[in-house]
Structure 1
Amino acid sequence: MTTPQIKPGDIRTRLQIRGAFGGSPQGGICPSDPKASVNLYSDPDVGEQLGYYDGWLAEEDELGAVFEYTGAGKSGHQTFEGTAGAGNRAILRHAEQGRVLRVFTKVGKVPGSDTKTHRYLGKFTLDALEPYVWRKVHGEDRVERNVIVFRLRADGEVQHDEKDMIPPARETDGEFVPFKPVTAVMFEDTPATSGNLPLPSQRTSSRGKRKKPAPNSETSGTFVVPEAFGTRLSVRAAAAATVAVRREAELTQAYKEMLERAGHRVGSYQMKVRGLTSTLRADLYDATDHVLYEAKGSNSREDIRMGLGQVLDYSRYVKMPEHQGDPTRVILLPAAPPPDMYSLLALYDVEVVFRSDDGTFAGNVVPGFQRLHSLE
């Protein structure tokens, strides 16, 4: 007997979905080796109660649209470790394990029963450049916790419907949050994200048109990615970008540890901007000295210009009750910038911190740096 085909937009029960794509009868993340699939179930009602939304971001980049899916774990901090992190690991390692991601969203129940129905959105893969981000949320009990938000790209035909969009923020606000590296596996010898995350095969919606960013009454501008990640992104460019992200994460981690050894309270800063569906997150924030950092994986002119724009953008939203005014803005680099870049950054009152050849960090805002050099 042939298994009925399920196409994007089709509504089915979980029993019917299991017949086509395998997986367990319950749970939100359901891997299936026989069907080479990891089935992701989203329930908008449950997500909202737990402080998050799954769905499409209105703000697209040059690779197209992103669908955000929150990892497993309804209470406490989410993890990739142990039994609690098994589902999240299945998503992170789907490509190297030869499985595709399939997304389903709850739409209702079979008439006259309690059997839930789910709409199939289609096949996805993790974003090759930024597979996931850490985010701080406030659940139904208002307890703060860290969750894993996976960034999914369409892998073929998908249903990209307005009703699956993440709602835009009603107000602009921000908060100091714990620092979490972009991905913990970036520091392993053979990270799961190295060379295994395919590029999305489709960069437009199923309607064949690029979606326009949502109107933003408070912040204008266009969200873009580096010039190297343009319309014809090559596998080589994607691999180089992944290496750059890994270097940036390692650099940020090393500088954070240095600040903490100096007794500073360090984390990140998370922002919601009115009218945007995206959640912004600055790389590093020093709450002791009120300093905002934007890290880059290289000291190239292109990266410095991008970092300049990001730190100027993010710094507008950093408000801490113990500090007055805007934070000091700094670009964190793995090596000294070209000499003429200092004058460009000085025009915008932006400092530079870079890692020296001996592994130490140099810059006017580095704790002890000014005192040390005044004695020379």
Structure 2
Amino acid sequence: MVWEITVGQTLRRREVHSLVGGGSRQNGIAPVAGSPEILVFTDPASGADHGYDRFEGLREDGTYAYTGEGQNGDQTFQRGNRALRDAQAEGRNIRLFRTAGVMATYVGAFTLGEPAFEIRQIPSTAGPDRDGIIFNLEPIEAAACEVLPAYGGIEKATGVRDWIAPSSSQYLMASSDTAARAAMRDEFRLQAQFGRWLIARGDRVSALRLATAGTFIEPDLYNSSTGEVIEAKRSVARHDVRMAIGQALDYSNVARLNGFQVAPSILLPARPGEDLLELCHSLGITVWHSDRGGFTRLSPL
């Protein structure tokens, strides 16, 4: 079967199913029998009614977080969830649609990222929070991502909110890369220690949500007492420091565009090499690093 729906095209959902030759008209994940296509429908308004908007949406890196099927009890890998998880292994195409009422807009073809999914604690329609499957979808063609809601809720806006120390227990990474999981734990631990250290010395630590390019981004920490946006990295390896530099500059620029006067800073577990430190200072970036149970600030001259 030749895929006939173009990126950005809006159709009635029943027309979509007629064109592709099947797939459930009620489910969010609709594998098409006898076809390589898996139709995935995201409805932000409906998702918000169930509290899914906190875990779903377009992330700053261009990936799309998508909540799996199942409104009550722990979500499991059955039916649509299993089909989406196994899409790559089975050579199937993931076709994402943004729905509003009976209408569906084709966003584009996606693939599963790395990790392919996370297990998060999400709300239940009736009852306590439960395990939810958050799929990590990456576009593989020019996609109409502008029709997708930003990650974390379609009604939320730019602004300062309370900072909550990150914890590696907040979610489980579904990855075979144990080194990646360990790195995430180390980075979360560093952020948590630094944030609590700042608060203990009297600084006001917050989370800062910034609008940009149809989505939202958030620095790891925002110290409103010193006017710094801070990006943490788990090592002083060159690639980590270079990544932190780029992110810190991006955050500070977007913050200024949103009306916040801030300076870029990075947080590392140790003092970086002198050449990297000189690079940071030449760009106006402050370097914080862990030091004897506390933290040291290395400011540009």
TM-score, shorter chain, exceeding 0.5: yes
Q: Is the 8 A contact 1:14 1:118 kept in 2?
A: no
Q: Is the 8 A contact 1:286 1:292 kept in 2?
A: yes
Q: Is the 8 A contact 1:173 1:317 kept in 2?
A: no
Alignment map for 1:1-376 (pairs within 5 Å): 6-9=3-6, 11=11, 13-14=13-14, 17=17, 20=20, 23-30=23-30, 38-43=38-43, 66=62, 68=64, 70-71=66-67, 82-83=74-75, 93-95=85-87, 98=90, 100-106=93-99, 116=102, 118-128=104-114, 150-154=136-140, 160=143, 164=147, 173-176=158-161, 178=164, 184-186=171-173, 191-192=174-175, 194=177, 246=181, 248-259=183-194, 264=199, 268-273=207-212, 276-285=213-222, 292-315=229-252, 329-347=264-282, 348=284, 350-354=286-290, 363-364=295-296
Q: Secondary structure at the match of 1:282?
A: coil
- How many percent of aligned residue pairs carry the same amino acid? 23
Q: Is the 8 A contact 1:72 1:87 kept in 2?
A: no
**47 and 175 in structure 1: CA distance in 2 versus 1, 3 angstrom threshold:** farther
Q: Is the 8 A contact 1:266 1:285 kept in 2?
A: yes
One-letter amino acid of the counterpart of residue 175, structure 1: V
1:262-288 residue CA offsets vs partner (Å, 9 max, x unmatched): 594866432114xx2232121234678
**337 and 91 in structure 1: CA distance in 2 versus 1, 3 angstrom threshold:** farther
One-letter amino acid of the counterpart of residue 258, structure 1: Q
Q: Is the 8 A contact 1:251 1:297 kept in 2?
A: yes
Compute the displacement of 1:298 (Å).
3.9
**126 and 162 in structure 1: CA distance in 2 versus 1, 3 angstrom threshold:** closer
Q: Secondary structure at the match of 1:125?
A: strand
One-letter amino acid of the counterpart of residue 173, structure 1: T
Aligned partners of 2:209 and 2:77: how far apart in 1?
24
Compute the displacement of 1:254 (Å).
1.1
Aligned partners of 2:46 and 2:264: how far apart in 1?
38
**32 and 262 in structure 1: CA distance in 2 versus 1, 3 angstrom threshold:** farther
Q: Is the 8 A contact 1:67 1:152 kept in 2?
A: yes
User: Where in structure 1 do 4 or more consecutive aligned residues deviate above 6 Å?
Assistant: 47-52, 54-57, 84-89, 129-132, 287-290
Q: Give the CA RMSD over aligned residues.
A: 5.5
1:220-258 residue CA offsets vs partner (Å, 9 max, x unmatched): xxxxxxxxxxxxxxxxxxxxxx96x65552222112443
Compute the displacement of 1:333 (Å).
2.9
Q: Secondary structure at the match of 1:363?
A: strand
One-letter amino acid of the counterpart of residue 67, structure 2: G
Q: Which runs of 5+ in 2 are unaligned?
A: 121-132
Q: Is the 8 A contact 2:146 2:214 kept in 1?
A: no
Compute the displacement of 1:350 (Å).
0.2
Compute the displacement of 1:40 (Å).
1.2
One-letter amino acid of the counterpart of residue 236, structure 2: N
Aligned partners of 2:66 and 2:253: how far apart in 1?
28
Name the one with the larger strand percent: 2
Corresponding residue of 1:214: none
Aligned partners of 2:111 and 2:144: how far apart in 1?
18
Aligned partners of 2:195 and 2:242: how far apart in 1?
28
Aligned partners of 2:188 and 2:295: how far apart in 1?
17
Corresponding residue of 1:218: none
Matched positions, count: 263
